[in-house]
Amino acid sequence: MNCGWQFVSDYWPRTRPAPPQSASLAAPQRLVSPVFINALGSLEAFVVSLGPQKKLDRHSKSRHIKFTSLLFLCITLAIYSTKTGQPADPTIEPTTGHPEDIHHASTPCLHACRWCSPDRPAQSAPPMNFTTILFSISEGVALLSLNRPEQLNSFNPTMHREVQAALDLVRNDPQVRVLLLTGEGRGFCAGQDLGERTVAPGVAAPDLGASIETFYNPLVRALRDLPLPVICAVNGVAAGAGANLPLACDLVLAARSASFIQAFCKLGLVPDSGGTWLLPRLVGMARAKALALLGNRLSAEQAEQWGLIYQCVDDAQLRDQALSLARHLATQPTYGLGLIKRSLNASLHNSFDEQLDLERDLQRLAGCSEDYREGVSAFMEKRSPVFKGC
């Protein structure tokens, strides 16, 4: 019987093994609840009480039947109390989300994850030369500027691929704490470059759905899902998809001369890049339909009053104010800011109860972060915190 007890004890460890030292996630561990441990303890005491018996009488048979039933009960408890990758505690919900969230939920970050590795490079540099965008990283801020000013920064396949490559760099670089998106020249973005979409008589029409699936939808999702603050500085006209890209960002500043135009209706098209989902939730259905059906120009000042953007600023101050805001956020607990972003985005489709559950789960993740420890320590020590974004 001792051998059986040892097997069960080894198979269902009572405590979590030490977390791995590598940046990758630990292999799933089998963990067991205190209820099962107590049941096994009672089982072991019961077996010892049986003592050596060479011949079973009626009383002994009854005790062995009880033993078999108790063993079955323990195995059943083991099956229902065992969970993969987390303690078998009925008060703890399974963790879902990005891999870094699972890592931070399982163990507080102690310089073992990709966000705060001690051997990360001091300064990041793009591994490729871009031709349609400008991209740089400084002081924790990634600056991505659309750079086709002669075409009002309208998108072509090359620009799409380069923007996606830059966003991949932002997501994977632990130095980056904030992304700032803007445009060069007199316009922010005029949407799709129609020069590459000419429909001549007798020629098959292009598959616009394939273009959206390949380029625009991944772009909007990438901006919205980045686990860090994304600022957009709209420096001029924003039309078509270019008017909806800023809406996928977290904080939108616009120059006083900037304007937003849902130009799709002028071409017989439907607003894309998330426009039909974002506009009604930002300005209400009545104004969203007016913007989409009429295609009228919406000034930056009006956009601020309607709640479409965060702030309208003077043209000469736009870049400086946007950079100042980005640098400020880069010094803040950006891991927690990313969780705030996820929570607010999810609230647009969650029920009240679902949102309460999400707040609970994200608060659990935030409470395991290094930034939370630093924030509390700095408060108690009456000093300025130094956050790491993890």
The full set of domain ranges for the chain reads: 133-194+208-330, 334-381
Q: Please provide the DSSP assignment of 170-214 as one string.
A: HHH-TT--EEEEEESTTEEE-SB-GGG----TTSPPP-HHHHIII
Exposure of 318 by Cβ count < 10 A (0-12 exposed, 13-18 middle, 19+ buried)?
buried
* Mean local confidence (pLDDT), 68-83: 53
CATH of segment(s) 133-194+208-330 = 3.90.226.10
**323 neighbors 144 (Cβ within 8 angstroms):** no
Tens-place pLDDT, residues 350-388: 999 999 999 999 999 999 999 999 999 999 999 999 999
Task: Please provide the distance, in angstroms rounded to a whole number, between the alpha carbons at the two ends of the chain.
Answer: 48
pLDDT at 111: 38
* Mean local confidence (pLDDT), 315-328: 97
Confidence tier at 67 by pLDDT (50, 70, 90): low
Tens-place pLDDT, residues 122-162: 444 545 689 999 999 999 999 999 999 999 999 999 999 99
> Which of 60-69, 117-126, 149-158 has the least mean pLDDT?
117-126
> Which of 25-34, 191-200, 335-344 has the least mean pLDDT?
25-34
Percent of the chain with pLDDT strictly greater than 90: 63
Does the structure show a pLDDT above 80 at 334?
A: yes
* Mean local confidence (pLDDT), 84-93: 40
For 321, the enclosing helix (H) or strand (E) is helix 318-330
Which tokens belong to 268?
Answer: 């017989």
Torsion of CA 64, 66, 72, 76, to 10 degrees: -160
Architecture of domain 334-381: Orthogonal Bundle (1.10)
pLDDT at 118: 46
- 3-class state of residue 230 by DSSP: strand
Question: Measured between alpha carbons, how far is 196 from 103 in angstroms, rounded to an integer?
Answer: 45
Question: Measured between alpha carbons, how far is 329 from 369 in angstroms, rounded to an integer?
Answer: 17
Which tokens belong to 69?
Answer: 């039933």
Does the structure show a pLDDT above 90 at 204?
A: no
Which tokens belong to 379?
Answer: 């408060």
Which tokens belong to 51?
Answer: 């003592």
* Mean local confidence (pLDDT), 49-72: 53
Percent of the chain with pLDDT strictly greater than 70: 67
Tens-place pLDDT, residues 281-313: 999 999 999 999 999 999 999 999 999 999 999
Confidence tier at 335 by pLDDT (50, 70, 90): very high
Residue with more model confidence, 389 or 55: 389
**33 neighbors 40 (Cβ within 8 angstroms):** no
Within 13 Å and on the Cβ side, how many CA atoms surround 68?
Answer: 6
Long-range own/partner contacts, residues 263-266 (CB < 8 A, 24 or more apart): 263/191, 263/239, 263/295, 264/240, 264/292, 264/295, 265/292, 265/293, 265/294, 265/295, 266/295
User: Distances from the Cα of 316 to the Cαs of 190, 193, 320, 321, in angstroms?
Assistant: 21, 28, 8, 9
Task: Give the sign of the dihedral formed by CA 307, CA 311, CA 314, CA 318.
Answer: negative
Question: Measured between alpha carbons, how far is 208 from 198 in angstroms, rounded to an integer?
Answer: 12
Q: How many residues does the chain have?
A: 390
Amino acid at the residue 362: L
> Which of 46-50, 111-115, 338-342 has the least mean pLDDT?
111-115
Exposure of 364 by Cβ count < 10 A (0-12 exposed, 13-18 middle, 19+ buried)?
middle
Does the structure show a pLDDT above 60 at 331?
A: yes
Mean pLDDT taken over the chain: 79
Question: Measured between alpha carbons, how far is 216 from 191 in angstroms, rounded to an integer?
Answer: 10
Cα 261–264–266 angle (5° rounding)?
Answer: 90
pLDDT at 84: 41
User: Distances from the Cα of 119 to the Cαs of 114, 205, 377, in angstroms?
Assistant: 10, 52, 25
Exposure of 348 by Cβ count < 10 A (0-12 exposed, 13-18 middle, 19+ buried)?
exposed
pLDDT at 201: 76
Tens-place pLDDT, residues 10-32: 333 333 334 344 333 333 343 44
**306 neighbors 288 (Cβ within 8 angstroms):** no
**178 neighbors 231 (Cβ within 8 angstroms):** yes
Facing residues of 83 across strands? 31
Residue with more model confidence, 244 or 4: 244
pLDDT at 231: 98
H-state helical runs in 89-199: 99-106, 157-172
Residue with more model confidence, 174 or 57: 174
Asked, colleague to colleague, whether 133-194+208-330 and 334-381 share their fold, the answer is no
pLDDT at 184: 97
pLDDT at 216: 96
pLDDT at 194: 87
Confidence tier at 196 by pLDDT (50, 70, 90): confident
